[in-house]
Amino acid sequence: MNIELINTGTELLLGSTLNTHQQWIGQQLAALGLELARQVAVPDTADAIQDAVRDAMGRADFILTTGGLGPTSDDVTREKIAELLGLRLCREARIEAGIQRFFEERRRSMPAQVLIQAQVPEGAQVLENAHGTAPGLAIPLPPKPGSTLKAPRLLVMLPGPPRELRPMFTQHVLPLLRQLAPSQDQYARRILRTTGVGESVIAEKIEPALRDGLQAGLEIGYCAHTGAVDVRLIARGPQAHAILAQAETTVREFMGEAIYGENDDRLEAQVVQLLTAARQTVALAESCTGGFITHRLTNIPGASAVVLAGAVTYSNTSKTIFAHVDPAILQSFGAVSPETATAMAEGIRRALQADYGIGVTGIAGPSGGTEQKPVGTVYIALAQADGTKVHSSINRYERESFKAITSQQALDLIRRALLASRPRP
Ligand code: ATP
């Protein structure tokens, strides 16, 4: 089924409003096994809206428009689409009464022009708006030649404000889509989340082994985030679930512990979960990450049972006071060194009597680098009962990405240590 989205709003093109509808609607559809075939944002002008709808009607089975259903002069979506489709607009008394009630309940006087929202193109289904005065509208469209849809194709208009659009989408649009869409057992999707390996390396590893699945119609996609790559597997048709299960087994076999979760799982959540399961604790001394690793861990419910402390030991003095780093180490090796990272991890672990200690030190830049230790140099130490290991890398990014990548590496270091220490089944 070809679904197209038309977002109206000059503010979207001026960049003053971020088009969150596109992302949110895309996510809702994906969860149903559906995908947007195309999305376009157009200004609030008659020509732009009509051109976009005319264009989409040549291809789409389901057209969704957002915005422009309100009462002001720049809200022209309803009127211009009705005009394009040659449909008369009729005032609906039931909607008018609802709008009047909306104002009465809020003890506000009603400007006459808001009643324009009670105009309905003939033949349209009215979709109730529980959070505003502009109802949505669903208009059946003439069939496309050769269409195999289960019901007439549709054009649905929803209002712009997200707090109105989202519940209306869930309540009204999803059931309409279900009527049209092929059944769910013909579609299977899984996202496997990885860290520590680049996307081209992943592709090189898994694609030869997935050849059979690819021939059977398996789709593979890669989505690189900061310090992580999602591998997306999609299968369609009567064998969808079997093809997907086989592909997932293969990817897991090749990627092993680089996979930290599925779908919306977060790396920090897995660390908290593994610590909780092992009844173990962590304490952190963070320099160049400024507390970001602790921030990520403490975003996870249940972190208080396993995260004992996170000290931002930015200066040498603070490394000595809070992480008990011997000043001689700082003097001999420098604040950014494997030795200092080790001393930070071991010191904070000892001070808090934690099972794991993490120490992070590096040069975020843009200045402060040397030939031996260029900007981006980072040392992450993980201390535990049987010793300390140090990860080093050069994360040459601007400061926020530097923190994000470094935090990802630190979380991955402890995650892998926790996995390795799990009792074998
Ligand atoms: P209203 O009755 O509020 O005028 P409307 O249906 O006419 O509703 P618009 O005027 O197009 O909707 O948009 C109203 C508000 O909704 C915008 O100011 C903006 O904040 C938000 N909005 C509109 N489109 C989007 C979008 N694509 N993504 C995020 N927010 C949006």
Distance 89 CA to ligand 1 centre (A): 22
Give the pLDDT confidence score for residue 116 in this predicted structure: 92
Rounded to whole angstroms, how far apart are CA atoms 182 and 34? 9
**At 185, which amino acid appears?**
D
Distance 318 CA to ligand 1 centre (A): 49
Give the pLDDT confidence score for residue 1 in this predicted structure: 85
Task: Tell whether ligand 1 has an atom less than 6 A from the beta carbon of residue 161.
Answer: yes
424 pLDDT exceeds 90?
no
Rounded to whole angstroms, how far apart are CA atoms 145 and 127? 28
Rg (CA), the chain: 28
What average pLDDT does range 43-51 have in this prediction?
97
Mean pLDDT across the chain, nearest whole number? 94
Q: Quick one: what percent of the chain has pLDDT higher than 90?
A: 84
Name the residue with the closest Cα to ligand 1, atom 20. 161
pLDDT digits (tens, 9 = 90+) for 333-352: 999 999 999 999 999 999 99
121 pLDDT exceeds 80?
yes
Task: Please state whether beta strands 119-121 and 219-225 pair in parallel, antiparallel, or not at all (unpaired).
Answer: unpaired
Confidence of residue 163 (pLDDT cuts 50, 70, 90): very high
Look up the pTM and report it.
0.72
Give the pLDDT confidence score for residue 187 in this predicted structure: 83
The structure tokens 């420098």 sit at 334
**At 293, which amino acid appears?**
I
Task: Tell whether ligand 1 has an atom less than 6 A from the beta carbon of residue 162.
Answer: yes
Rounded to whole angstroms, how far apart are CA atoms 367 and 64? 50
pLDDT digits (tens, 9 = 90+) for 279-288: 999 999 999 9
For 87-176, strand residue ranges (E) read 89-91, 119-121, 125-127, 136-140, 154-158
Name the residue with the closest Cα to ligand 1, atom 4. 70
Give the pLDDT confidence score for residue 225 in this predicted structure: 86
Phi-psi region of 249 (alpha: psi -120 to 50; beta: other; left: phi over 0): alpha
Kindly tell me the burial class for residue 277, based on how many C-beta atoms sit within 10 Å of its own C-beta (0-12, 13-18, 19 or more). exposed
Weakest mean pLDDT among 107-111, 292-296, 309-313: 107-111
Rounded to whole angstroms, how far apart are CA atoms 103 and 36? 36
Give the residue, out of 7, 8, 11, with the most ligand 1 atoms within 8 A of its beta carbon, to mutate for a pocket test: 11
